Structure 1
Amino acid sequence: MADVVLAVDLGTTSTKVIAVDRDAGVVASAEHGYPMRTTPSGEATHDPVQVWSAALEALREVGALGLRVRALSLTGAMHTLLGLDSAGVPVTPSVSWADNRAVDEVNRLRGTPDGAFLHRRTGTPIHTMSPLVKLAWFTGRGVTAHTWCGLKDYVTRLLTGHLVTEHSSGSATGLMDLHTLAWHPDALAFAGITPEELPPLHAPTDSFPLTCDIPGIPLGTPVVLGGGDGPMANLGVGAVAPGVAAVSLGTSGALRVVRDRPAVDPLGRVFCYAVADGLWVLGGAVSNGGVVAQWAAETFRTDVETLLAEAALVPAGAAGVIALPYLLGERAPWWDPDARSALIGVRREHGRAEIARALIEGVAQQLALVLDAVRSVAEVHSVRVTGGAFRSDLWAGVLASALGLDLELAEDSEGSGVGAGLLGWHALGELPDLAAAASLIKPTKTIRPDDAAQRLYAARRPAVERLYQSLHDLGY
């Protein structure tokens, strides 16, 4: 019977419960899914009761295995928002980061001195993903709630009876002052709410006793508040030392590096979110990752594996085709929910292989632009990577060449889930600090850049910026 921390990872399409031992090993896991409601108007929401039911079922499944559960530790998708009544019952759906309905609220702030000030103070870019503008969207339409919170906060309340949030998730709301670790009055004024309508803020390592009856998990077990999936993913791949970035690449992607004080870059291209123990991640998320290959496969009526195999035979540079892969708008470094995709340089001789290669190179170039922005604030000399896209040698090789850095592939370790588990062990006092926790994660493979491809991508990258700006100026 193993001693474990159960990491509860509330994702966009499913909740995973991962049993993590003291050495960062994954002992067991369970996963239960749920739908996300999307509409042409830009809605992207979850039913919070369905998410709770999935989490409870996954906890029961792992709890039945007879493990010695030392603690639960929570993580989940950032930027979620829902309203509760005075009894803690949802009065709105849970709005996802992907919800794009608050475009008018973004346009009121984006590019203004007030917007730049709030980005600097809260660390969250002005974008439809941000709960700041989602709240303004709700309150501007007369929607009220006793308390507004994140989806993870709602689950925490059902597990412990306490409705609280922590600095990691709070720093991704656009409402928390990075320097005072308190709700920011100017952000609250824009959102149209008061501090009393938000949960109290706590440290990510704080915990409350379990009060929900789950077979196999004793009542009173500590429930560690944890943090957002991005910061926890850095811990989960072992990227908390200065200069070591983490890249995750699945349907979407992100690049983040840890530092010991909060900041954003002067041009407002990166976010800044809390991890724990005075550490912060700087970086940027891109909305388009593996989704571009899925879209191309559907468009060309083939499967992703076949298309990637064909694209791998095309030399670097995609035979002259350049892609701006903004199928879902774009986040870093543009933070433009209305950004549109483009294929430039297509000729009759080009086919699906060249177009697919160009799309993959476009995603890698976007992450390289994020790296350039991060480097204006913090050093980056190595990269740990995780995510389903790295099962493909093409994705891995193109990204290594675009970043111009060796990629150290972390164990297929569930990223943010393992990070939350390690944070739980740290909160229990079993790991002295986050550096000791991160040292338990060992890379299993190194992907090196191709010199010729690296030079080609670096030479093209300024053109990618100009092409985006030209399309933006045309209203695309």
Structure 2
Amino acid sequence: MGEPAWIGVDLGTQSVRSVLVDAAGTVLAHASRPLISHRDGDRHEQDPGDWLAAVDATLAEVSTPDVQGLAICSTSGTVLLTDQAGAPTGPALMYDDARAGAYLDRIVAADPTRWATSMQPTWALPKILWLLDQAPSGRRIAHSADVVAAHLIGRPVATDTSHALKTGYDLVAGQWPLDAFDTVGLSPEILPEVVLPGTELGRVSETKAQVTGVPAGTPVFGGMTDGCAAQIAAGALAPGAWNSVLGTTLVLKGVSKDLLDDPTGAVYSHRHPDGGWLPGGASNTGAGALTAMLPGADLGALDQAARELGPIAAAVYPITGTGERFPFVAPKAERFQLGDLPDDLHTYSAVLQGVAFIEKLAFEHLESLGAEPVRSVSLTGGAVRSGYWNQLRADVLGVPVELPASADPGYGMAVLAASAGTSLTATAARMVRIDRVIDPRPQDNLATLYGEFVAELDRRGYRG
């Protein structure tokens, strides 16, 4: 027998990725398979059969006889129906599918105190009601990670508190809100049991062991949504440490001892597997503004030129559509710019600065709700490829930023699996490696521009 290792499976939007990690945090193997989405207006679906085939294939590439356990993450709010055996009965409605918006008023009316400011059209609960209205009786609710776990184990499984959040699970009470569900016509018989992340859901069946190479009897542990999985991979699991994921959009995740109460609904919290909370939010701003505003541009060349140019006296509020959800809720928010943008280079630089300003404002909002002051931020997501942007974000935030060595959500799930029965925070401290730390530099001109940026948000009424 070799050294023990754990597998993390990331069921993403564009691919399934599996990674094998040892106790020291070294990645021993990884594999991926692409996924196809079907989009039509506000609809976004995937075939769950594609997930299962991709999971089998990637596990077969990374598995060894030394696997001690595995955990699965998937996109938050992706949901589908299964039969009583846990097998999918139709397509999955993805995290950003908005077809069920008409159900929102009905849900809020069932429990205004609970859902008036938090429930959104793309959350799982409205989509579940839509699915049930189209389906025959005898169906069960499942999140994407649940379906994969059931596939490996051979029977329906419990879901975890992280995936259950956008289905309406009450994390404070630790139960489904059955009275409100009864009002909207949701029967408790179709709801899964809910457990904490890291709880054993079952063990890999003999049948799937033959297909995947994962030893029969290997524990499958409850996972978390992909944002939380990335936070684990970044090692941001103690108060004051935060993970900032910057890709198409900006997502922040942190830790608080007590639940942060945000009356605006911009911040929501997951349960920390070790106790306490994982507060954060997802903005509609991010690097997506670059491709929207600079279609076809050579972003690599612009990044190099921006490094040489340095900070400029301009900023773009970097939203691609209409409406903002974090760090403030403003359904009518639209993109704007401060200062002159004479060419693509200045536009590029202004977007980078605008994203950094939104990031800083988000942390200020979190601290205003009672979060501990930010002492460090782990940067993950596609934007970390820009060294200039990383330094700019450190300068604007005024705190060190860290670049983890292995920041993908699958890695985070391997760490979660390795922590079963022990402290996740301690396990991550042992396994997660930081590749580089970037210290902030004083930038008085950016501080002045940031004040003007926030004042413009207020002038437009976006922050209430």
TM-score of the superposed pair, with normalisation by structure 2: 0.88
The yes-or-no answer on 1:17 pairing with 2:9 is no
Give the equivalent residue in structure 2 for 1:365: 357
Give the equivalent residue in structure 2 for 1:156: 149
Give the equivalent residue in structure 2 for 1:51: 51
The yes-or-no answer on 1:439 pairing with 2:463 is no
* Residues 248-282 of structure 1: per-residue CA shift (max 9 Å, x gap): 12232211111234343233220111231323210
Deviation at 1:424, TM superposition (A): 1.0
Match of 2:451 among 414, 434, 459: 459
Deviation at 1:228, TM superposition (A): 1.7
Contact 1:426 1:433 in 2 (8 A): yes
Q: Which stretch of the first structure deviates more once superposed, 43-52 or 229-238? A: 229-238
Q: Which stretch of the first structure deviates more once superposed, 25-34 or 353-362? A: 353-362
Deviation at 1:395, TM superposition (A): 2.1
Contact 1:269 1:373 in 2 (8 A): no
Give the equivalent residue in structure 2 for 1:353: 345
SS in 2 for 1:149: strand
* Residues 20-79 of structure 1: per-residue CA shift (max 9 Å, x gap): 111122111001110222222x1122111111111111011112xx45111121112211
Deviation at 1:325, TM superposition (A): 1.8
| Alpha-carbon separation, structure 2, partners of 1:153 and 1:316 | 46
Match of 2:366 among 370, 374, 385: 374
Residue identity in the other structure for 2:395: S
| Alpha-carbon separation, structure 2, partners of 1:11 and 1:459 | 37
* Residues 308-354 of structure 1: per-residue CA shift (max 9 Å, x gap): 2344444434x434334234854323456x6564233575x611122
The yes-or-no answer on 1:93 pairing with 2:91 is yes
Deviation at 1:142, TM superposition (A): 7.0
Give the equivalent residue in structure 1 for 2:298: 303
- Counting only pairs closer than 5 Å after superposition, residues 67-146 of structure 1 correspond to structure 2 as 68-106=66-104, 114-118=111-115, 125-139=118-132, 146=139
Q: 1:302 to 1:136 in 2, by over 3 A?
A: same
Q: 1:219 to 1:292 in 2, by over 3 A?
A: same
| Alpha-carbon separation, structure 2, partners of 1:232 and 1:355 | 33
Deviation at 1:115, TM superposition (A): 4.2
| Alpha-carbon separation, structure 2, partners of 1:187 and 1:446 | 47
Match of 2:394 among 395, 400, 408: 400
- Counting only pairs closer than 5 Å after superposition, residues 27-38 of structure 1 correspond to structure 2 as 27-38=28-39
* Residues 178-213 of structure 1: per-residue CA shift (max 9 Å, x gap): 122111125424653122111111222222110123
* Residues 231-262 of structure 1: per-residue CA shift (max 9 Å, x gap): 22222111111111111122322111112343
| Alpha-carbon separation, structure 2, partners of 1:403 and 1:130 | 31
SS in 1 for 2:378: strand
| Alpha-carbon separation, structure 2, partners of 1:359 and 1:127 | 27
Q: Which stretch of the first structure deviates more once superposed, 5-14 or 457-466? A: 457-466
Give the equivalent residue in structure 1 for 2:8: 7
* Residues 344-381 of structure 1: per-residue CA shift (max 9 Å, x gap): 3575x611122222222222222223212211221132
Identity of matched residues, %: 27
Match of 2:244 among 247, 254, 261: 247
| Alpha-carbon separation, structure 1, partners of 2:179 and 2:453 | 37
Q: 1:118 to 1:48 in 2, by over 3 A?
A: same
Contact 1:204 1:276 in 2 (8 A): yes
Contact 1:170 1:201 in 2 (8 A): no
Give the equivalent residue in structure 2 for 1:385: 379
Contact 1:288 1:327 in 2 (8 A): no
SS in 1 for 2:223: strand
| Alpha-carbon separation, structure 2, partners of 1:114 and 1:313 | 54
Q: Which stretch of the first structure deviates more once superposed, 230-239 or 450-459? A: 450-459
| Alpha-carbon separation, structure 2, partners of 1:392 and 1:280 | 31
Contact 1:400 1:407 in 2 (8 A): yes
| Alpha-carbon separation, structure 2, partners of 1:351 and 1:187 | 54
Give the equivalent residue in structure 1 for 2:326: 332
Contact 2:223 2:416 in 1 (8 A): yes
Give the equivalent residue in structure 1 for 2:225: 228
Q: 1:197 to 1:468 in 2, by over 3 A?
A: farther
SS in 2 for 1:74: strand
Q: 1:443 to 1:88 in 2, by over 3 A?
A: closer
| Alpha-carbon separation, structure 2, partners of 1:11 and 1:453 | 39
Unpaired runs of 5+ residues, structure 1, are none
| Alpha-carbon separation, structure 1, partners of 2:43 and 2:16 | 21
Over the aligned positions, Cα root-mean-square deviation in angstroms equals: 2.8
Contact 2:110 2:183 in 1 (8 A): no
Match of 2:277 among 277, 280, 305: 280
SS in 1 for 2:361: helix
TM-score of the superposed pair, with normalisation by structure 1: 0.86
